[in-house]
Amino acid sequence: MELSDIRSRIDGIDDELLRLFAERMGLAADVARAKAGTGKAVFDPAREREKLARVAAEAPEGLRPQAIALFSLLMSMNKAEQQRILAGGNPTTTSSLMRRALKGNDEPFPATASVACQGVEGAYSQIAASKLFRVPNISFFSTFEGVFRAVSEGLCEFGVLPIENSTAGSVNAVYDLLAAHSFYIVRSLRLKIDHNLLAKPGCALADIREVYSHEQAIAQCADYLERIGVKATACENTARAAEAVARSSRRDVAALSSRDCAALYGLDIIDANVQDSDNNYTRFVVISAEPAIYPGASRTSLMLTLSHEPGSLFRVLERFYALDINLVKLESRPIPGRDFEFMFYFDVDCPVGAASLGTLLDGLGDVCESFTYFGSYTEVL
């Protein structure tokens, strides 16, 4: 058979596959209505197991894995379509919340605002806030919880907090507080972090025996600290560390902090850019008590808890794939008090106006135990 004849047969088969696929997806509306009438969940694990077992039994032996993968994807797309239909017009769905939070093109992200930060002047959170807002009115608080409380009580409109570092990973405490307060992310910034060793004027590196800094900064400079052979002591944040060194009567202490803190607290930079990786970035987020999605938003953050059973993560990832949504972050974290069970942080890259994003958000409850929507926003680089 000539190649042109083979391709002609393939095209004919593909045309028939496409017709049958459209017919199969069209039946999703009938299935959705039937399930709505009975209150049945979209995800029916017994039905799926039965279906895939039949596919495995009937497929040619050499094509069995491919057949199972194909029908798994077909069922995932069908479930997503059912969820879209069932969620239509429901004001309590996540997609409805998202639509209500959308700001018009004439309402851009604010240039000025009252902003809560953790730490003191010179902290990286303050540097981030000054990049995120043109003229921020910054109030400082000693803890992450204090920042959330300031926003919750209306003392500040927004808070700016670190949520992830390229070396040390996610800041779990911030995720926990976001979930506990039911707050939202409305903006983020990817900030290059250069740690510097700051000491009193006249001190040399050979004099230093102890270094103060935030635990994340210590982790980001762990190899360096081991190499110079000093004790590392954790502080509230890097700016507090610089302040502590400036106030100390000792001359054998130093701080891992920003260049800004050297000028602010009258310290010398005795070693610059000491982080273990030069590709050291921290993501800072702007938090708000109310959902607000500003024009151009294309990043969405989620936290999911999955059942402790085979295939639970696969079902979630399969949904992303079926809806052609780009996943830019996936990080697991143990669930306290539940051995070998994990929650997952997801960030997706998808324009807020895309119908697929709403379909995903309204259908996640069908493939996980629980999930939290942290908001949709623009990331500033």
Task: Convert the pLDDT of each residue in 116-137 to its tens digit.
Answer: 999 889 999 999 999 999 999 9
Specify whether the CB–CB gap between 97 and 121 falls below 8 A.
Answer: no
Longest CA–CA span in the chain (Å) reads 90
Q: Which DSSP symbol is given to 88? A: T
Query: What is the pLDDT averaged over residues 24-34?
Result: 85
pLDDT score of 78 = 85
Is residue 89 predicted with pLDDT exceeding 80?
no
Do residues 59 and 67 lie in contact, with contact meaning Cβ atoms separated by under 8 Å? Answer: yes
pLDDT for res 251 = 96
The pLDDT of residue 9: 94
Q: Which CATH class is domain 196-271?
A: alpha beta
Q: What is the mean pLDDT of residues 228-240?
A: 93
What's the Cα-to-Cα distance from 187 to each of 24, 353, 356, rounded to whole Å?
A: 40, 17, 22
Contacts of 122 (CB under 8 A, 6+ apart): 238, 239, 242, 257, 258, 260, 261, 264, 265
On the question of a common fold for 112-193+281-288 and 196-271, the answer reads yes
The pLDDT value recorded for residue 92 is 84
In this structure, the number of other CB atoms found within 10 A of the CB of residue 163 comes to 21
Task: Report how far residue 346's alpha carbon sits from residue 159's, in angstroms, rounded to the nearest whole number.
Answer: 21
What is the fold of 92-103+294-381? Alpha-Beta Plaits (3.30.70)
Q: Tokens in use for 87?
A: 């969620």
Q: Give residue 110's pLDDT.
A: 96
Q: According to the model, what pLDDT value does residue 254 have?
A: 98
Phi and psi, residue 120, nearest 5°: -140, 180
Taking 90 as the threshold, does the pLDDT of residue 237 lie above it? Answer: no
CB distance 288 to 184 below 8 Å: yes
> What tokens were used for 331?
């990080």
pLDDT at position 88: 73
Domain range 112-193+281-288, its CATH number among 3.30.70.100, 3.50.50.60, 3.30.1330.60, 3.40.190.10:
3.40.190.10
SS3 content of the chain, % helix, strand, coil (to 5): 45, 25, 30
Mean pLDDT, the chain, integer = 92
Pick the CATH number of 1-87 from 3.40.309.10, 1.20.1250.20, 3.30.1390.20, 1.20.59.10: 1.20.59.10
pLDDT at 269 over 80: yes
Q: Is 145 exposed, middle or buried (0-12, 13-18, 19+ CB in 10 A)?
A: middle
Res 155 pLDDT > 80: yes
Alpha helix segments (H runs only) across 156-236 = 172-181, 215-220, 222-228
Give the model's pLDDT for residue 159. 98
Rounded to whole angstroms, how far apart are CA atoms 149 and 230? Answer: 36
The pLDDT of residue 48 is 87
DSSP 281: E
Q: What is the dihedral of CA 206, 212, 217, 221, to 10 degrees?
A: 20
Q: How far is it, in rounded angstroms, from Cα 29 to Cα 85?
A: 7
Nearest Cα to 74, choosing from 139, 3, 20?
Answer: 20
Residues ≥6 apart with Cβ < 8 Å to 293 = 98, 101, 102, 103, 186, 352, 375, 376, 377
- 60 membership: H or E segment, kind and range: none
- pLDDT tens for 172-192 read 999 999 999 999 999 999 999
Q: Which two tokens stand for residue 64?
A: 């069995």
Conformation bin of residue 324: beta by default, left when phi > 0, alpha when psi is -120 to 50: left
First to last CA, the chain: 56
Please state, for a pLDDT cut of 70, what percent of the chain lies above it. Answer: 100
State phi, psi for 248 to the nearest 5 degrees.
-70, 150
- What pLDDT score was predicted for residue 278? 84
Residue 337 clears pLDDT 80, i.e. is over it: no
Q: What is the rounded average pLDDT of the residues 56-60? A: 94
Q: Could you tell me the residue ranges of all domains in the chain?
A: 1-87, 92-103+294-381, 112-193+281-288, 196-271
Higher pLDDT, 365 or 349: 349
CA–CA distance, 139 with 29 (Å, rounded to integer):
52
Q: H or E stretch including 168? A: none
pLDDT score, position 55: 95
Confidence check: pLDDT of 37 > 80: no
- pLDDT for the residue numbered 113: 97
